[in-house]
Chains A and B, each alone.
Chain A
């Protein structure tokens, strides 16, 4: 089943889906393993695995630190692939890779996508690869039935959104505000207008991410978006309270 169909099917049973995120190798693969177990056990619908990169240009302080420390701990791309293979084999929910383009480019885009498909990864989020630069990636993703998730931003025009949507699959990642990951998002009237523009531009499910950290945030998005993306909040939680705090946090976000 294609990712989009799988998400639509899941959506018929839930008012909003949850996508969570973690940085591979931070603080360790052992903690990643425990966190993912807790996420899946508490109903997370899809998980973004970020392969660390030394220059995470679109990320805020918390995720920068996670990237840096993961690399300093000796996390290699090969370790991330092996770990992702293990997770994809163990759990039924879809897993995506999130990373910067150089990780794919250096490995070889075709080789990387082929490997990702083999180990059961369902799609990619590559924030520094606009479709204009990603011809090879987009074509191979289609060929390999991987979803090249496209990103909408509040600064995107409607025309631009339609172009992006044409290249996308799976869902659209709507960045909730300007800026980098981590800081708080205000869900005001201009946010509603933005989401309405997103909705008009595509039939794909809409995920909203950047600054979503609480049950109240998820409630605001329910009925407006199909997926809520929890990123920095769980990384911070693991740091402050340990991996065992993740389960109750996730369970409390919905319902």
Chain B
């Protein structure tokens, strides 16, 4: 038997003593909710009426024809309220916060999608909300910062460390150890101390439950392969859980290859040779770290994938050869994004586009009577500045320049 909170040798709860009681309470509330069918029904009702569940499974017939192989299906998590799968987790944890009687929520965010989802949930449920976001991410995901603030959240730019997602997690913990009596930390992905990985995976399992039914309905059988991008791993675990017990379905996690795996400037924990076992941010997994155990700087064009660690659930599935890992570079992501927009009229988030890259590489290997699913974890609207910059778009630049002049003249 594995120790509670362990998946194989990965996971655990490496928490400071001051949070021991807080975690005990959280585990209790989570365990009770899980055992209570009324809770899951309440969750489904909420996601059906407030978000857009079940999200559609779209047949990408133009892309399928383009690659001349498998039928490509896209699971549309971008059509969730707030534009990403993050809402699934956040609304679930919001219901737990109500049960705990807490009045304030805090969260880390990288791409800002989790932050926006959390601020939205806080607005709806009447909680105070503070979002920690690395300073670098504040700059590259500015539209989401604007919306979080409009939703009533306080956004704190984090200036310690590498100023990205891991540093935002550290700051959120520092807030929590001071304010745990009133505050719940809404961890945004399937990482961190037990019970977060398991609990967030539970809320995200709604993706896989739907996708399994949907693909059987439209395709008549299971897909050959399922692709998902992996930052912390929550959208991947979400969809993979629909197919974990079907050995004929191959599961592929796609990490951020950044500027290339041989440059060191990437965030590929399991697809590269650069990570090693470690314990940080409350859990044990494969981390991008040096020989002393100091975490390294990571790089990705997608803020939501730019992270040192990866879900203990996924590390276990990788070790057991159940999930295969690949990496997509920044450059490949831009090309796949362009193609998807032009062929299907769909704009995936930069994070999600990583999954598209690997699916596009492999679609041609399969026969037209086979299907693959790409989990489109989010929509790309938030990335408008990054994408416009990457495409060096002349009319966008002109627009920004004029706006700047307009504000400067006031």
Contacts and interface: CB of A to CB of B under 8 A. Distances in A.
B14 A128 contact: yes
Interface string A56-100: 111011001100100100001100000000000000000000001
A26 to B, nearest CB: 14
B15 interface: yes
B16 interface: yes
Nearest to B166: A55
Nearest to A103: B293
How many interface residues does chain B have, given as a range?
35 or more
B234 interface: no
Interface in B13-29: 13-22
Interface residues of A, number: 41
A155 B276 CA distance: 34
Interface string B159-201: 0110000100010011001111000000000000000000000
A83 to B, nearest CB: 15
Contact of B178 (A53, A160, A178): A178
Contact of B177 (A133, A152, A179): A179
A133 B170 contact: no
Contacts of A175: 17-18
Given A127-B16, A128-B16, A57 B279 contact: no
A60 B22 CA distance: 20
B397 to A, nearest CB: 35
A58 B19 CA distance: 11
B157 to A, nearest CB: 14
B174 A106 contact: no
Nearest to A131: B17
Contacts of B392: none
Contacts of A128: 14-16, 279, 282
Interface of A: 53-58, 60-61, 64-65, 68, 71, 76-77, 100-103, 105-107, 127-130, 132-133, 150-157, 160, 164, 175, 178-180
9 contacts: A53-B293, A71-B294, A102-B278, A106-B276, A106-B289, A150-B17, A175-B18, A178-B177, A179-B174
Interface of B: 12-22, 160-161, 166, 170, 173-174, 177-180, 276-282, 287, 289, 291-295
